[in-house]
Amino acid sequence: MAQFKICIGDPKAKKSIQKEVSGDAAAPFLGLKIGDKFNGELLDVTGYEFEITGGSDIAGFPMRKDAQGTGLRKILAIKGIGISNKKKYRSKKKKGLRTMKGMRQRKTIAANTIFDRTAQINAKVVKYGVTPLIEEKKEESVKKE
């Protein structure tokens, strides 16, 4: 059965938490796409609503919103998720590091729909509930005598 790690980002607190779902609890996530919203009851957090922002499959390939369906795709891209146009030397004669303008890269990416080989789902909080999602840890000062 499917098993997912769900990384939830909280824009207000600027922190994130991670929850694991497997078995029957993971079944409602199958078939959801990037941009879809789901209730917090699926993660045992009442009153919250989350939006899927991305993820990756079991091999680490990132999900892209513009690739439709499930499975892997080989795309030719200039920029975006999964693409890095790092600064590199163009030739021995030309000095200095430069990015290659117009450089296209053939990359393998995962499509935008969650399926059984998806390992991680990234989500952000859209609607907040009553209880805090991320509990603040208060450090007590200990005095040594």
For 49-94, write each residue's pLDDT tens digit: 999 999 999 999 999 998 899 989 998 888 777 777 776 666 677 6
Buried b (16+ CB within 10 A) or exposed e, 24-48: ebbeebeebebeeebebebbebeeb
Distances (CA, A) of 28 to 17, 20, 46, 83: 20, 14, 16, 30
SS3 state at 82: coil
Which of 20, 19, 7 has the alpha carbon at shortest distance from 55? 7
Count other Cβ atoms within 10 Å, centred on residue 64.
21
Rg of the chain over all Cα atoms, to the nearest angstrom: 20
Q: At which residue do the structure tokens 């879809």 appear?
A: 36
Span 85-128, pLDDT tens digits: 776 666 677 666 666 777 788 889 999 999 999 999 999 999 99
